[in-house]
Amino acid sequence: AQKVTQAQTEISVVEKEDVTLDCVYETRDTTYYLFWYKQPPSGELVFLIRRNSFDEQNEISGRYSWNFQKSTSSFNFTITASQVVDSAVYFCALSDYKLSFGAGTTVTVRA
């Protein structure tokens, strides 16, 4: 069965700290895609990254980085030197035959 687990419900950090969000997934397919979305307090869903199952290269985009490990079925997301504007709910999602989301992790960055 397809499943996405974000075990961390809430994370609170002080500005400039690094924060890592965990995402573990389950799928029977060999071809699938993983996503991260950000939902700021305003409510819209902001696309951050898409990664396919054949590409295990880590990715860095500014202060964001992603670590994809097929061996552990994980696709973790790190925010380096967090800022108050990073405060949001972050969702991990898996697309094999349909798109499924994790429950989300609420990140609060305090000044």
Partner 1 sequence: EAQVTQNPRYLITVTGKKLTVTCSQNMNHEYMSWYRQDPGLGLRQIYYSMNVEVTDKGDVPEGYKVSRKEKRNFPLILESPSPNQTSLYFCASSQTYRGSNYGYTFGSGTRLTVV
Q: Which stretch binds partner 1 (CB under 8 A): 19-27, 43-51, 54-62, 74-82?
A: 43-51
Q: Which is nearer to partner 1, 47 or 81 (CB)?
A: 47
| Residue 45 Cβ vs partner 1, minimum distance, rounded to whole Å | 4
Per-residue tokens: 36: 């991260």
Closest to 46 measured CA to CA, from 93, 98, 13: 93
Enumerate the β-bridge partners of residue 21.
77
Interaction of residue 44 with partner 1, rule CB under 8 A: yes
Cα 25 to Cα 110: distance, rounded to the nearest angstrom: 30
Cα 111 to Cα 24: distance, rounded to the nearest angstrom: 30
| Residue 88 Cβ vs partner 1, minimum distance, rounded to whole Å | 14
Can you give the binding site for partner 1, defined by CB under 8 A? 4, 6, 9, 33, 35, 37, 43-45, 47-50, 91, 93, 95, 97-104
